[in-house]
Chains A and B, each alone.
Chain A
Amino acid sequence: MAEKIQKTIRALYDGGNSMRRRSCEKLVDLPEDHCLLNEGDSKTNHSLLHSASPKPEKRATRKSRSPKPARRMTVPTKDMDGSRRFKWRGSVNRIVRKFGQGQTIHGGTFEVHLEDCPPSPNNEFVPFVVDLCCRIVEERGLTFTGIYRVPGNSGTLAALQDELNLRGPDALDLENDERFCELNVVSSLLKSFFRKLPDPLFTNELYDDFITMNRKKDPEERLNGLRHLVHMLPAPHYQTLKFLISHLRRVADNCDVNKMEVRNLAIVFGPTLVRSTISDNMATMVTDMSDQCRIVESVLQHNEHFFSGEHEEIPTFVRSFMCE
Protein backbone atom coordinates (compact mmCIF):
# COMPACT_ATOMS: atom_id res chain seq x y z
CA MET A 1 0.00 0.00 0.00
CA ALA A 2 2.74 2.35 1.00
CA GLU A 3 4.45 1.78 -2.32
CA LYS A 4 1.37 2.75 -4.23
CA ILE A 5 1.05 5.95 -2.26
CA GLN A 6 4.64 6.76 -2.76
CA LYS A 7 3.99 6.50 -6.48
CA THR A 8 0.92 8.66 -6.30
CA ILE A 9 2.76 11.32 -4.44
CA ARG A 10 5.76 11.09 -6.71
CA ALA A 11 3.44 11.63 -9.64
CA LEU A 12 2.01 14.64 -7.94
CA TYR A 13 5.44 15.92 -7.47
CA ASP A 14 6.89 15.35 -10.85
CA GLY A 15 8.26 18.56 -12.08
CA GLY A 16 8.43 19.93 -8.57
CA ASN A 17 11.84 20.69 -7.28
CA SER A 18 13.88 18.12 -5.51
CA MET A 19 13.84 19.48 -2.02
CA ARG A 20 10.08 19.49 -1.80
CA ARG A 21 10.07 15.97 -3.05
CA ARG A 22 12.47 15.08 -0.33
CA SER A 23 10.24 16.33 2.39
CA CYS A 24 7.35 14.49 0.87
CA GLU A 25 9.17 11.21 0.89
CA LYS A 26 9.78 11.78 4.51
CA LEU A 27 6.08 11.81 5.07
CA VAL A 28 5.64 8.56 3.26
CA ASP A 29 8.13 6.89 5.52
CA LEU A 30 5.79 7.37 8.41
CA PRO A 31 4.02 4.40 9.97
CA GLU A 32 1.04 3.00 8.11
CA ASP A 33 -1.57 4.34 10.41
CA HIS A 34 -0.44 7.87 9.92
CA CYS A 35 -3.34 9.92 8.79
CA LEU A 36 -1.50 11.40 5.84
CA LEU A 37 -1.28 8.08 4.10
CA ASN A 38 -4.95 7.45 4.19
CA GLU A 39 -5.61 10.86 2.90
CA GLY A 40 -2.90 11.13 0.36
CA ASP A 41 -4.05 7.81 -0.99
CA SER A 42 -7.03 9.25 -2.69
CA LYS A 43 -6.38 12.78 -3.62
CA THR A 44 -9.86 13.14 -5.00
CA ASN A 45 -11.27 12.32 -1.62
CA HIS A 46 -9.64 15.04 0.31
CA SER A 47 -12.98 16.50 1.22
CA LEU A 48 -13.37 13.47 3.41
CA LEU A 49 -10.73 14.78 5.70
CA HIS A 50 -12.90 17.53 6.90
CA SER A 51 -15.97 15.48 7.42
CA ALA A 52 -15.97 12.94 10.16
CA SER A 53 -14.04 10.29 8.36
CA PRO A 54 -13.52 7.20 10.47
CA LYS A 55 -9.96 6.81 11.59
CA PRO A 56 -8.17 3.66 10.53
CA GLU A 57 -8.66 0.55 12.64
CA LYS A 58 -5.22 0.64 14.13
CA ARG A 59 -5.61 4.11 15.45
CA ALA A 60 -9.03 3.46 16.88
CA THR A 61 -7.99 0.38 18.79
CA ARG A 62 -4.82 1.79 20.21
CA LYS A 63 -6.70 2.70 23.32
CA SER A 64 -9.95 0.92 23.83
CA ARG A 65 -12.12 3.75 24.88
CA SER A 66 -15.73 4.07 23.94
CA PRO A 67 -16.38 7.04 21.72
CA LYS A 68 -17.65 10.02 23.54
CA PRO A 69 -21.12 11.22 22.74
CA ALA A 70 -21.14 14.50 20.92
CA ARG A 71 -21.05 17.27 23.44
CA ARG A 72 -23.95 19.58 23.49
CA MET A 73 -22.85 23.14 23.13
CA THR A 74 -24.47 25.94 24.95
CA VAL A 75 -22.64 29.11 24.25
CA PRO A 76 -23.34 31.72 26.86
CA THR A 77 -23.16 35.13 25.35
CA LYS A 78 -22.28 36.76 28.60
CA ASP A 79 -20.72 35.73 31.81
CA MET A 80 -22.57 35.49 35.11
CA ASP A 81 -21.51 38.94 36.08
CA GLY A 82 -22.23 40.25 32.63
CA SER A 83 -18.58 40.66 31.77
CA ARG A 84 -17.21 39.53 28.43
CA ARG A 85 -14.51 37.43 29.91
CA PHE A 86 -15.18 34.46 27.68
CA LYS A 87 -15.45 36.29 24.45
CA TRP A 88 -12.93 33.96 22.85
CA ARG A 89 -15.12 30.96 23.42
CA GLY A 90 -16.71 31.30 20.05
CA SER A 91 -13.77 30.20 18.03
CA VAL A 92 -12.51 27.74 20.59
CA ASN A 93 -15.90 26.14 20.47
CA ARG A 94 -15.50 25.65 16.79
CA ILE A 95 -12.58 23.37 17.50
CA VAL A 96 -14.45 21.51 20.19
CA ARG A 97 -17.44 21.06 17.95
CA LYS A 98 -15.36 19.48 15.26
CA PHE A 99 -13.97 17.09 17.80
CA GLY A 100 -17.45 16.31 18.91
CA GLN A 101 -18.36 14.87 15.52
CA GLY A 102 -17.22 11.41 16.41
CA GLN A 103 -13.61 12.15 15.61
CA THR A 104 -11.86 10.76 18.61
CA ILE A 105 -8.17 11.40 18.68
CA HIS A 106 -5.84 9.36 20.77
CA GLY A 107 -2.20 9.59 21.52
CA GLY A 108 -0.06 11.97 23.46
CA THR A 109 0.50 15.59 22.64
CA PHE A 110 3.74 16.34 24.47
CA GLU A 111 7.10 14.71 23.90
CA VAL A 112 5.90 13.03 20.71
CA HIS A 113 6.92 13.79 17.16
CA LEU A 114 5.16 16.66 15.48
CA GLU A 115 3.50 14.42 12.91
CA ASP A 116 2.12 12.13 15.63
CA CYS A 117 0.37 14.86 17.58
CA PRO A 118 -3.38 15.07 17.45
CA PRO A 119 -3.91 17.47 14.54
CA SER A 120 -6.02 20.56 14.51
CA PRO A 121 -9.35 20.17 12.75
CA ASN A 122 -8.50 23.29 10.76
CA ASN A 123 -5.14 22.24 9.40
CA GLU A 124 -4.03 18.64 9.25
CA PHE A 125 -0.38 19.59 9.64
CA VAL A 126 -0.74 21.86 12.63
CA PRO A 127 -1.03 20.15 16.03
CA PHE A 128 -4.25 20.72 17.90
CA VAL A 129 -2.56 22.27 20.90
CA VAL A 130 -0.70 24.82 18.76
CA ASP A 131 -3.87 25.91 17.03
CA LEU A 132 -5.73 26.14 20.34
CA CYS A 133 -3.09 28.18 22.17
CA CYS A 134 -2.60 30.59 19.28
CA ARG A 135 -6.32 31.09 18.95
CA ILE A 136 -6.77 31.91 22.62
CA VAL A 137 -3.84 34.33 22.56
CA GLU A 138 -5.13 36.01 19.43
CA GLU A 139 -8.58 36.50 20.84
CA ARG A 140 -7.59 37.71 24.26
CA GLY A 141 -3.86 38.12 24.55
CA LEU A 142 -2.69 40.43 21.79
CA THR A 143 -2.74 43.40 24.14
CA PHE A 144 -1.47 41.50 27.19
CA THR A 145 1.84 42.95 28.40
CA GLY A 146 4.69 40.47 28.26
CA ILE A 147 2.71 37.72 26.55
CA TYR A 148 5.00 34.69 25.99
CA ARG A 149 7.66 36.21 28.21
CA VAL A 150 5.96 35.85 31.58
CA PRO A 151 5.52 32.19 32.52
CA GLY A 152 2.34 30.66 33.90
CA ASN A 153 1.95 28.69 37.10
CA SER A 154 4.24 25.69 36.77
CA GLY A 155 1.89 23.38 38.68
CA THR A 156 -1.10 24.21 36.50
CA LEU A 157 1.03 23.81 33.42
CA ALA A 158 2.28 20.36 34.43
CA ALA A 159 -1.25 19.19 35.23
CA LEU A 160 -2.56 20.43 31.91
CA GLN A 161 0.21 18.69 30.02
CA ASP A 162 -0.40 15.40 31.80
CA GLU A 163 -4.07 15.61 31.06
CA LEU A 164 -3.50 16.33 27.40
CA ASN A 165 -1.08 13.47 27.19
CA LEU A 166 -3.12 10.89 29.02
CA ARG A 167 -6.63 11.73 28.00
CA GLY A 168 -6.25 13.60 24.75
CA PRO A 169 -7.58 16.98 23.72
CA ASP A 170 -11.20 15.94 23.39
CA ALA A 171 -11.39 15.03 27.07
CA LEU A 172 -10.74 18.62 28.04
CA ASP A 173 -13.64 20.84 28.82
CA LEU A 174 -12.28 23.81 26.94
CA GLU A 175 -15.42 25.76 27.51
CA ASN A 176 -15.42 25.71 31.29
CA ASP A 177 -11.81 25.01 32.11
CA GLU A 178 -10.59 28.01 34.05
CA ARG A 179 -7.01 27.20 33.21
CA PHE A 180 -7.50 28.30 29.65
CA CYS A 181 -8.46 31.74 30.92
CA GLU A 182 -4.98 32.28 32.25
CA LEU A 183 -3.04 33.68 29.34
CA ASN A 184 0.32 32.99 30.92
CA VAL A 185 -0.57 29.32 31.27
CA VAL A 186 -1.71 29.17 27.64
CA SER A 187 1.42 30.87 26.36
CA SER A 188 3.64 28.66 28.52
CA LEU A 189 1.79 25.61 27.22
CA LEU A 190 2.67 26.54 23.66
CA LYS A 191 6.32 27.13 24.48
CA SER A 192 6.46 23.90 26.44
CA PHE A 193 5.03 21.99 23.49
CA PHE A 194 7.83 23.15 21.23
CA ARG A 195 10.44 22.68 23.91
CA LYS A 196 9.45 19.05 24.36
CA LEU A 197 9.42 18.04 20.71
CA PRO A 198 11.86 15.15 20.28
CA ASP A 199 12.70 16.58 16.88
CA PRO A 200 12.65 20.38 17.25
CA LEU A 201 10.62 22.53 14.87
CA PHE A 202 13.69 23.46 12.81
CA THR A 203 14.71 19.76 12.97
CA ASN A 204 17.89 18.11 14.15
CA GLU A 205 18.80 17.27 10.59
CA LEU A 206 18.90 20.84 9.38
CA TYR A 207 20.16 22.39 12.61
CA ASP A 208 23.79 22.73 11.60
CA ASP A 209 22.82 24.02 8.15
CA PHE A 210 20.66 26.71 9.72
CA ILE A 211 23.44 27.84 12.05
CA THR A 212 26.04 27.87 9.26
CA MET A 213 23.75 29.76 6.91
CA ASN A 214 22.96 32.32 9.58
CA ARG A 215 26.66 33.16 9.87
CA LYS A 216 26.97 34.05 6.17
CA LYS A 217 28.22 37.60 5.79
CA ASP A 218 26.28 38.60 2.69
CA PRO A 219 22.79 39.56 3.91
CA GLU A 220 21.09 38.55 0.69
CA GLU A 221 22.79 35.21 0.52
CA ARG A 222 21.96 34.63 4.16
CA LEU A 223 18.27 35.44 3.82
CA ASN A 224 17.80 33.42 0.65
CA GLY A 225 19.73 30.54 2.13
CA LEU A 226 17.63 30.55 5.28
CA ARG A 227 14.48 30.68 3.18
CA HIS A 228 15.73 27.76 1.13
CA LEU A 229 16.33 25.78 4.33
CA VAL A 230 12.90 26.64 5.68
CA HIS A 231 11.41 25.20 2.50
CA MET A 232 13.40 22.02 3.05
CA LEU A 233 11.64 21.33 6.34
CA PRO A 234 9.29 18.35 6.32
CA ALA A 235 5.71 19.40 5.57
CA PRO A 236 4.34 19.20 9.15
CA HIS A 237 7.26 21.27 10.40
CA TYR A 238 6.96 23.76 7.58
CA GLN A 239 3.22 24.21 7.99
CA THR A 240 3.42 24.50 11.76
CA LEU A 241 6.22 27.04 11.49
CA LYS A 242 4.25 29.05 8.97
CA PHE A 243 1.22 28.98 11.23
CA LEU A 244 3.22 29.94 14.32
CA ILE A 245 5.14 32.73 12.61
CA SER A 246 2.02 34.36 11.22
CA HIS A 247 0.59 34.21 14.72
CA LEU A 248 3.69 35.73 16.32
CA ARG A 249 3.62 38.41 13.67
CA ARG A 250 0.19 39.46 14.86
CA VAL A 251 1.52 39.51 18.42
CA ALA A 252 4.43 41.72 17.33
CA ASP A 253 2.05 44.03 15.44
CA ASN A 254 0.65 44.99 18.82
CA CYS A 255 4.03 45.55 20.41
CA ASP A 256 3.29 49.12 21.43
CA VAL A 257 0.79 47.64 23.90
CA ASN A 258 2.17 44.19 24.73
CA LYS A 259 5.84 45.24 24.57
CA MET A 260 6.76 42.07 22.70
CA GLU A 261 8.40 43.32 19.54
CA VAL A 262 9.98 40.96 17.01
CA ARG A 263 13.30 41.02 18.85
CA ASN A 264 11.80 40.01 22.18
CA LEU A 265 9.70 37.25 20.66
CA ALA A 266 12.79 35.96 18.89
CA ILE A 267 14.72 35.79 22.17
CA VAL A 268 11.89 33.86 23.74
CA PHE A 269 11.22 31.51 20.82
CA GLY A 270 14.64 31.23 19.16
CA PRO A 271 16.28 28.78 21.55
CA THR A 272 13.01 26.87 21.85
CA LEU A 273 12.43 26.35 18.13
CA VAL A 274 15.98 26.21 16.77
CA ARG A 275 17.88 23.65 18.78
CA SER A 276 19.38 20.25 18.47
CA THR A 277 18.52 17.38 20.77
CA ILE A 278 21.61 15.57 19.55
CA SER A 279 24.15 18.06 20.82
CA ASP A 280 22.19 19.63 23.63
CA ASN A 281 24.95 20.68 25.96
CA MET A 282 25.97 23.90 27.61
CA ALA A 283 28.65 24.66 25.06
CA THR A 284 26.39 24.65 22.00
CA MET A 285 23.71 26.37 24.01
CA VAL A 286 26.05 29.28 24.62
CA THR A 287 27.78 29.45 21.25
CA ASP A 288 24.66 29.07 19.11
CA MET A 289 22.23 31.03 21.22
CA SER A 290 22.51 34.31 19.38
CA ASP A 291 22.23 32.48 16.05
CA GLN A 292 19.09 30.73 17.21
CA CYS A 293 17.52 34.05 18.08
CA ARG A 294 18.64 35.74 14.92
CA ILE A 295 17.21 33.01 12.72
CA VAL A 296 13.78 33.31 14.30
CA GLU A 297 14.06 37.08 14.24
CA SER A 298 14.75 37.05 10.50
CA VAL A 299 11.90 34.66 9.76
CA LEU A 300 9.57 36.86 11.81
CA GLN A 301 10.78 40.05 10.23
CA HIS A 302 10.54 38.79 6.66
CA ASN A 303 7.74 36.30 7.07
CA GLU A 304 6.21 37.17 3.71
CA HIS A 305 9.49 36.55 1.94
CA PHE A 306 10.00 33.28 3.77
CA PHE A 307 6.60 31.81 3.10
CA SER A 308 5.73 33.44 -0.20
CA GLY A 309 4.28 31.23 -2.92
CA GLU A 310 6.97 31.73 -5.57
CA HIS A 311 8.50 28.34 -5.18
CA GLU A 312 6.11 26.81 -2.84
CA GLU A 313 5.83 23.36 -4.31
CA ILE A 314 3.13 22.18 -2.01
CA PRO A 315 1.09 19.23 -3.19
CA THR A 316 -2.51 19.84 -4.13
CA PHE A 317 -3.89 18.00 -1.15
CA VAL A 318 -1.94 20.27 1.12
CA ARG A 319 -2.97 23.34 -0.77
CA SER A 320 -6.61 22.47 -0.33
CA PHE A 321 -6.15 22.76 3.42
CA MET A 322 -4.53 26.09 3.18
CA CYS A 323 -7.36 27.56 1.16
CA GLU A 324 -9.81 26.75 3.90
Chain B
Amino acid sequence: VAKTPDRIFKVILVGDSNVGKSSAIQRFCFNTFSDDRRPTLDITFQMKTIVTAQGVTSLQIWDSAGQERFRSVPRLYFRKADGVMLLYDVTNETSLKNVRSWISNIKESAGNNAVIMLLGNKVDKQRTVTWEEGHAVALQCKAVFLEISAKSGENVPQAFEALTRILKEREEGDMGIPPSTGTPLGETIEVTSNNRTERFDVARL
Protein backbone atom coordinates (compact mmCIF):
# COMPACT_ATOMS: atom_id res chain seq x y z
CA VAL B 1 0.00 0.00 0.00
CA ALA B 2 1.52 3.29 -1.06
CA LYS B 3 1.37 5.74 1.75
CA THR B 4 1.41 9.46 1.27
CA PRO B 5 2.95 11.24 4.20
CA ASP B 6 0.79 13.88 5.75
CA ARG B 7 3.77 15.68 7.21
CA ILE B 8 7.34 16.27 6.15
CA PHE B 9 9.78 17.34 8.80
CA LYS B 10 13.32 18.52 8.19
CA VAL B 11 15.84 17.19 10.64
CA ILE B 12 19.53 18.04 10.59
CA LEU B 13 22.28 16.12 12.35
CA VAL B 14 25.18 18.12 13.70
CA GLY B 15 28.07 17.61 16.09
CA ASP B 16 31.81 17.30 16.19
CA SER B 17 33.71 15.38 13.57
CA ASN B 18 33.84 11.62 14.13
CA VAL B 19 30.91 11.33 16.54
CA GLY B 20 28.92 9.20 14.10
CA LYS B 21 26.39 11.44 12.39
CA SER B 22 26.56 9.69 9.03
CA SER B 23 26.60 6.30 10.70
CA ALA B 24 23.45 7.08 12.68
CA ILE B 25 21.66 8.05 9.47
CA GLN B 26 22.94 4.96 7.70
CA ARG B 27 21.66 2.80 10.55
CA PHE B 28 18.26 4.46 10.64
CA CYS B 29 17.64 4.58 6.89
CA PHE B 30 19.29 1.37 5.70
CA ASN B 31 19.85 -0.54 8.93
CA THR B 32 23.52 -1.12 8.07
CA PHE B 33 26.82 -0.09 9.55
CA SER B 34 30.27 0.30 8.02
CA ASP B 35 33.38 0.42 10.14
CA ASP B 36 35.52 2.60 7.92
CA ARG B 37 33.53 5.68 7.15
CA ARG B 38 35.35 8.65 5.69
CA PRO B 39 34.78 12.16 6.95
CA THR B 40 31.70 13.68 5.33
CA LEU B 41 32.36 16.45 2.88
CA ASP B 42 29.20 18.16 1.82
CA ILE B 43 25.63 18.26 3.00
CA THR B 44 23.45 15.38 1.83
CA PHE B 45 20.02 14.25 2.79
CA GLN B 46 17.96 11.07 3.06
CA MET B 47 14.22 10.60 3.17
CA LYS B 48 12.64 8.15 5.52
CA THR B 49 8.99 7.53 6.12
CA ILE B 50 7.76 6.58 9.53
CA VAL B 51 4.41 4.91 9.93
CA THR B 52 2.84 5.15 13.34
CA ALA B 53 -0.62 4.71 14.71
CA GLN B 54 -1.03 8.45 14.37
CA GLY B 55 -0.29 8.56 10.67
CA VAL B 56 2.46 8.66 8.11
CA THR B 57 5.29 11.09 8.50
CA SER B 58 8.26 11.70 6.27
CA LEU B 59 11.57 12.79 7.64
CA GLN B 60 14.02 14.65 5.48
CA ILE B 61 17.26 13.91 7.27
CA TRP B 62 20.21 16.17 6.52
CA ASP B 63 23.73 15.04 7.22
CA SER B 64 26.36 17.71 7.80
CA ALA B 65 30.15 17.72 7.71
CA GLY B 66 31.69 17.99 11.17
CA GLN B 67 35.06 19.35 10.09
CA GLU B 68 35.73 22.81 11.45
CA ARG B 69 36.11 24.25 7.98
CA PHE B 70 32.42 23.56 7.39
CA ARG B 71 31.11 24.91 10.67
CA SER B 72 29.38 27.75 8.89
CA VAL B 73 27.45 25.45 6.57
CA PRO B 74 24.86 23.86 8.88
CA ARG B 75 23.92 27.33 10.14
CA LEU B 76 22.27 28.00 6.82
CA TYR B 77 20.11 24.94 7.32
CA PHE B 78 19.17 25.51 10.95
CA ARG B 79 16.61 28.14 10.13
CA LYS B 80 14.66 25.74 7.98
CA ALA B 81 15.07 22.77 10.23
CA ASP B 82 12.23 21.54 12.39
CA GLY B 83 14.48 19.41 14.50
CA VAL B 84 18.17 19.34 15.22
CA MET B 85 19.87 16.18 16.38
CA LEU B 86 23.06 17.10 18.15
CA LEU B 87 25.38 14.15 18.55
CA TYR B 88 28.32 13.58 20.81
CA ASP B 89 30.55 10.59 21.40
CA VAL B 90 30.30 8.89 24.80
CA THR B 91 33.93 7.78 24.45
CA ASN B 92 35.15 11.35 23.93
CA GLU B 93 34.59 13.92 26.68
CA THR B 94 35.60 16.80 24.44
CA SER B 95 32.72 16.14 22.11
CA LEU B 96 30.29 16.67 25.02
CA LYS B 97 32.10 19.84 26.06
CA ASN B 98 31.73 21.19 22.55
CA VAL B 99 27.96 20.61 22.74
CA ARG B 100 27.56 24.00 24.44
CA SER B 101 29.11 25.86 21.55
CA TRP B 102 26.94 23.90 19.14
CA ILE B 103 23.83 24.81 21.13
CA SER B 104 24.63 28.52 21.05
CA ASN B 105 25.34 28.14 17.36
CA ILE B 106 21.92 26.58 16.79
CA LYS B 107 20.08 29.09 18.96
CA GLU B 108 21.77 31.94 17.14
CA SER B 109 20.67 30.84 13.70
CA ALA B 110 17.47 28.95 14.39
CA GLY B 111 16.12 30.95 17.28
CA ASN B 112 14.19 28.83 19.71
CA ASN B 113 12.10 27.26 17.00
CA ALA B 114 13.85 24.00 16.39
CA VAL B 115 13.46 21.09 18.73
CA ILE B 116 16.89 20.00 19.85
CA MET B 117 17.68 16.41 20.65
CA LEU B 118 20.97 15.52 22.29
CA LEU B 119 22.23 12.05 21.43
CA GLY B 120 25.19 10.27 22.98
CA ASN B 121 26.48 7.85 20.39
CA LYS B 122 28.75 4.77 20.58
CA VAL B 123 27.33 3.23 23.76
CA ASP B 124 28.54 -0.15 22.46
CA LYS B 125 32.09 0.98 23.28
CA GLN B 126 33.88 1.56 26.57
CA ARG B 127 32.45 4.89 27.60
CA THR B 128 34.19 7.77 29.35
CA VAL B 129 31.12 9.99 29.60
CA THR B 130 28.35 8.80 31.93
CA TRP B 131 24.67 8.89 31.19
CA GLU B 132 24.23 11.42 34.01
CA GLU B 133 26.75 13.84 32.52
CA GLY B 134 25.01 13.82 29.17
CA HIS B 135 21.63 14.11 30.80
CA ALA B 136 22.72 17.13 32.85
CA VAL B 137 23.87 18.96 29.73
CA ALA B 138 20.60 18.12 27.98
CA LEU B 139 18.59 19.50 30.89
CA GLN B 140 20.48 22.78 30.79
CA CYS B 141 19.99 23.08 27.07
CA LYS B 142 16.33 22.04 27.23
CA ALA B 143 17.03 19.21 24.86
CA VAL B 144 15.58 15.73 24.65
CA PHE B 145 18.23 13.24 25.63
CA LEU B 146 18.95 9.69 24.51
CA GLU B 147 21.96 7.44 24.24
CA ILE B 148 22.29 5.44 21.04
CA SER B 149 24.64 3.16 19.19
CA ALA B 150 24.81 3.38 15.43
CA LYS B 151 26.87 0.21 15.43
CA SER B 152 24.48 -2.03 17.32
CA GLY B 153 21.41 -0.05 16.33
CA GLU B 154 20.39 0.45 19.92
CA ASN B 155 17.84 3.25 20.34
CA VAL B 156 18.43 4.64 16.84
CA PRO B 157 14.87 4.20 15.53
CA GLN B 158 13.52 5.24 18.92
CA ALA B 159 15.41 8.50 18.72
CA PHE B 160 14.01 9.40 15.32
CA GLU B 161 10.52 8.28 16.30
CA ALA B 162 10.57 10.29 19.49
CA LEU B 163 11.67 13.37 17.60
CA THR B 164 8.93 12.86 15.03
CA ARG B 165 6.32 12.57 17.73
CA ILE B 166 7.48 15.70 19.46
CA LEU B 167 7.50 17.63 16.21
CA LYS B 168 4.03 16.45 15.32
CA GLU B 169 2.52 17.33 18.63
CA ARG B 170 4.17 20.68 18.72
CA GLU B 171 2.96 21.51 15.27
CA GLU B 172 -0.58 20.47 16.01
CA GLY B 173 -0.45 22.55 19.16
CA ASP B 174 0.79 25.56 17.21
CA MET B 175 -2.00 25.25 14.71
CA GLY B 176 -4.62 24.96 17.39
CA ILE B 177 -5.60 21.49 16.28
CA PRO B 178 -6.51 19.22 19.12
CA PRO B 179 -3.81 16.60 19.35
CA SER B 180 -4.60 13.46 17.48
CA THR B 181 -2.48 11.35 19.76
CA GLY B 182 -3.31 10.13 23.17
CA THR B 183 -0.97 12.68 24.71
CA PRO B 184 -2.69 15.99 25.27
CA LEU B 185 -0.60 19.04 24.64
CA GLY B 186 1.34 20.43 27.53
CA GLU B 187 1.78 17.00 28.98
CA THR B 188 4.74 14.79 28.70
CA ILE B 189 6.14 12.40 26.21
CA GLU B 190 7.95 9.32 27.36
CA VAL B 191 11.22 8.17 25.93
CA THR B 192 12.70 4.97 27.18
CA SER B 193 16.41 4.32 27.09
CA ASN B 194 18.50 1.84 29.02
CA ASN B 195 15.40 0.85 30.96
CA ARG B 196 15.08 4.39 32.18
CA THR B 197 11.97 6.23 31.20
CA GLU B 198 12.38 9.92 30.65
CA ARG B 199 9.46 12.28 30.56
CA PHE B 200 9.68 15.37 28.45
CA ASP B 201 7.32 18.26 28.66
CA VAL B 202 6.35 18.84 25.06
CA ALA B 203 5.29 22.45 25.53
CA ARG B 204 8.62 23.31 27.10
CA LEU B 205 10.75 22.03 24.25
Contacts and interface: CB of A to CB of B under 8 A. Distances in A.
Interface of A: 146, 149-155, 182, 184, 188, 191-192, 195, 259, 263-264, 267-268, 271-272, 282, 285-286, 289-290, 293
Contact of A268 (B39, B98, B101): B39
B41 A154 contact: no
Contacts of A289: 41-42
A149 B18 CA distance: 7
B68 interface: yes
Interface in B138-153: none
- List the 9 closest pairs (A to B, CB-CB), nearest first: A150-B18, A154-B101, A267-B39, A153-B94, A271-B69, A272-B69, A153-B97, A154-B98, A149-B18
Given A153-B97, A272-B69, 12 more contacts: A150-B16, A150-B95, A154-B98, A154-B101, A182-B94, A184-B94, A191-B69, A195-B69, A267-B39, A268-B67, A289-B41, A290-B41
A42 B116 CA distance: 63
B53 interface: no
Interface of B: 16-18, 36, 38-39, 41-42, 66-70, 73, 76, 92, 94-95, 97-98, 101
A268 B38 CA distance: 10
A151 B97 contact: no
A151 B94 contact: yes
B68 A153 contact: no
Given A149-B18, A195-B69, A267 B98 contact: no
B92 A192 contact: no
B68 A192 contact: yes
B174 to A, nearest CB: 30
A271 B92 contact: no
A272 B92 CA distance: 24
Nearest to B97: A153
Contacts, number: 58
A184 to B, nearest CB: 6
B69 A151 contact: no
A108 B164 CA distance: 48
B59 to A, nearest CB: 23
Contacts of B16: 150-151
A22 to B, nearest CB: 29
B100 to A, nearest CB: 8
A184 B70 CA distance: 17
B13 to A, nearest CB: 16
Contact of A271 (B17, B38, B67): B67
Contacts of A184: 94
A195 B36 CA distance: 26
A85 B24 CA distance: 35
B190 to A, nearest CB: 33
B76 A267 contact: no
B67 A293 contact: no
